[in-house]
């Protein structure tokens, strides 16, 4: 991305929402919710979004808007020292680790798109689809090929700087994805037994809320909203001057949450109608969705359209992830003896992403570990540091009020926001960490 701002306020929101809405909503949310008690998870998740998703989103936007820099320069510019530089390292580290497994799943989506095109799923029931996933996933060369494809596409977008095109494209395609999901939900709700799934997803059973559920919900909140690795700092830097940070944050959050809930409304009724387990993990949506699509009128067209849109939703997210690393490499090497320009940085980051992606495919344990390490540890840790940095460290040097002025928050709202950022966010994250350590 150039050092220019987005063409319009809607453009920024669409780009940020396009980065936020991705596999986290459609692939990860349903399977994590399925493993963690359905309704109980949904409730805790929504609380997480309100209690710290919102304040952190605002904070990342405003760090970017105020400093006009991406992660590497932003902490230094705001604090006036290099003491906080290591936070940007934590951010890129997280971005790289997420890319590793995210490209694997994006590869699955591309594989399913190609198979939808050739009508492979026709006549398969849920158990045949589960077996199909196992076979496809066991074919390593194929999986690696399909993983490399989105890496190349993402790198190409960053290389040619065609973000404007992507921005325009996602303005049309993201609403289309939502429309498609509404149609699918409508079809699913007509299936026999779908009401059991709705109960599973919407009935809050308090006894199912365990510390583990809270931890998973927190991680999912970071992952889905794209907070905790500075991705939104970069977007904040491109914010048009007059944009209201609060309004932008609310819109991104509402869109992101809506898509996640929609995914749940499609998956869970279908899970119970087809008699499969909601607790089968990462393969869940790849077993259920093709079966749902087979039930739609114009099944072939619906499948192709849906998986096509899913691939694009995934790509807008990988673009935002890779941009974090690319911008970091450019800025970090700029003053060194071997500065890397944008294109060299893209090559470097893409090559690294391919290596990580292959590791995730060959060693499933690394796939799981990458996910747990980021959603369960490095993202909350970064968020904790950001909340301390902006909530406690900056105000001392008088920068706090400047920051608040940047966001244009009304006095009252500003106070509530600051209270959440200083107290609620760090305390909840600390509690979850202490619990994780078994204390």
Q: Given the rule CB under 6 A, which residues bind ligand TRP?
A: 19-20, 22-25, 98, 223-224, 226, 229, 231, 317, 320-321
Q: Which is nearer to ligand TRP, 121 or 306 (CB)?
A: 306
Q: Which is nearer to ligand TRP, 24 or 38 (CB)?
A: 24
Q: Which is nearer to ligand TRP, 317 or 406 (CB)?
A: 317
Q: Which is nearer to ligand TRP, 273 or 326 (CB)?
A: 326
Instruction: Tell the smallest beta-carbon distance from residue 432 to ligand TRP (Å).
Output: 18
Q: How many Å apart are CA 402 and CA 241, to the nearest integer?
A: 15
Instruction: Tell the smallest beta-carbon distance from residue 298 to ligand TRP (Å).
Output: 27
Closest CA to 281 of 97, 140, 133: 133
Q: How many Å apart are CA 284 and CA 290, to the nearest integer?
A: 11
Instruction: Tell the smallest beta-carbon distance from residue 57 to ligand TRP (Å).
Output: 11
Instruction: Tell the smallest beta-carbon distance from residue 98 to ligand TRP (Å).
Output: 6
For residue 137, give Cα distances in angstroms to 26, 286, 294.
19, 11, 21
Instruction: Tell the smallest beta-carbon distance from residue 435 to ligand TRP (Å).
Output: 22
Pair of tokens at residue 22: 């991705």
Q: How many Å apart are CA 335 and CA 218, to the nearest integer?
A: 37
How far from the centroid of its chain's Cα atoms is residue 88's Cα?
Answer: 19
Instruction: Tell the smallest beta-carbon distance from residue 317 to ligand TRP (Å).
Output: 4
Cβ–Cβ < 8 Å for 278, 200: yes
Q: How many Å apart are CA 351 and CA 193, to the nearest integer?
A: 47
Q: Which is nearer to ligand TRP, 25 or 251 (CB)?
A: 25
Q: Which is nearer to ligand TRP, 130 or 227 (CB)?
A: 227
Instruction: Tell the smallest beta-carbon distance from residue 233 to ligand TRP (Å).
Output: 10
Q: Which is nearer to ligand TRP, 17 or 43 (CB)?
A: 17
Query: What beta strand segments (E) does 1-155 contain?
Result: none
Pair of tokens at residue 435: 């619990």
Kind and range of the H or E run holding 86 = helix 86-117
Cβ–Cβ < 8 Å for 41, 202: no
Give the chain's end-to-end CA distance (angstroms, integer): 44
HSE, CB side, 13 Å, CA atoms: give it for residue 169.
12
Phi, psi of 215 (to 5 degrees): -65, -45
Q: Which is nearer to ligand TRP, 194 or 249 (CB)?
A: 249
Instruction: Tell the smallest beta-carbon distance from residue 22 to ligand TRP (Å).
Output: 3
Give the nearest residue (CB) to ligand TRP.
24
């Amino acid at each position: 991305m150039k050092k220019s701002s987005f063409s319009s306020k809607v453009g920024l929101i669409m780009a940020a929402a396009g980065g936020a809405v991705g596999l986290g909503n459609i692939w990860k949310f349903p399977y994590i919710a399925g493993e963690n008690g359905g309704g109980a998870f949904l409730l805790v998740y929504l609380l997480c979004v309100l209690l710290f998703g919102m304040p952190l989103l605002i904070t990342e936007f405003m760090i970017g808007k105020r400093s006009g820099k991406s992660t590497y320069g932003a902490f230094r510019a705001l604090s006036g020292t290099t003491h906080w530089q290591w936070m940007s390292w934590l951010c890129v580290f997280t971005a790289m680790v997420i890319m590793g497994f995210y490209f694997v799943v994006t590869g699955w989506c591309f594989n399913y798109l190609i198979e939808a095109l050739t009508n492979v799923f026709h006549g398969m029931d849920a158990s045949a689809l589960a077996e199909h996933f196992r076979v496809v996933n066991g074919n390593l060369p194929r999986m690696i090929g399909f993983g490399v494809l989105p890496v190349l596409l993402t790198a190409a977008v960053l290389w040619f700087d065609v973000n404007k095109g992507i921005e325009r494209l996602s303005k049309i395609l993201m609403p289309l994805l939502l429309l498609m999901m509404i149609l699918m939900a409508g079809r699913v709700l007509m299936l026999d037994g779908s009401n059991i799934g709705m109960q599973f997803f919407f009935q809050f059973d308090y006894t199912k809320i365990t510390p583990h559920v809270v931890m998973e919900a927190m991680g999912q909140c970071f992952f889905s909203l794209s907070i905790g690795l500075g991705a939104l700092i970069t977007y904040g830097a491109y914010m048009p001057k007059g944009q209201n940070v609060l309004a932008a944050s609310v819109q991104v959050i509402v869109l992101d949450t809506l898509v996640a809930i929609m995914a749940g409304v499609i998956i869970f009724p279908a899970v119970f109608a087809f008699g499969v387990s909601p607790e089968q993990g990462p393969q869940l949506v790849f077993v259920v969705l093709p079966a749902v699509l087979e039930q739609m009128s114009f099944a072939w067209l619906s499948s192709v359209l849906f998986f096509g849109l899913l691939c694009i939703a995934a790509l807008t997210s990988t673009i935002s992830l890779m941009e974090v690393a690319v911008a970091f490499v450019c800025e970090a090497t700029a003053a060194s003896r071997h500065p890397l320009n944008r294109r060299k940085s893209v090559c470097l980051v893409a090559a690294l992403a391919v290596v990580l992606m292959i590791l995730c495919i060959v060693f499933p344990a690394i796939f799981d570990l990458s996910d747990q390490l980021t959603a369960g540890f490095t993202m909350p840790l970064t968020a904790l540091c950001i909340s301390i940095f902006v909530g406690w460290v900056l105000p001392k040097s008088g920068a706090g009020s400047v920051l608040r002025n940047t966001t244009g928050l009304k006095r009252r709202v500003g106070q509530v926001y600051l209270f959440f950022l200083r107290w609620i966010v760090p305390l909840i994250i600390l509690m979850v960490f202490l619990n994780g350590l078994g204390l």
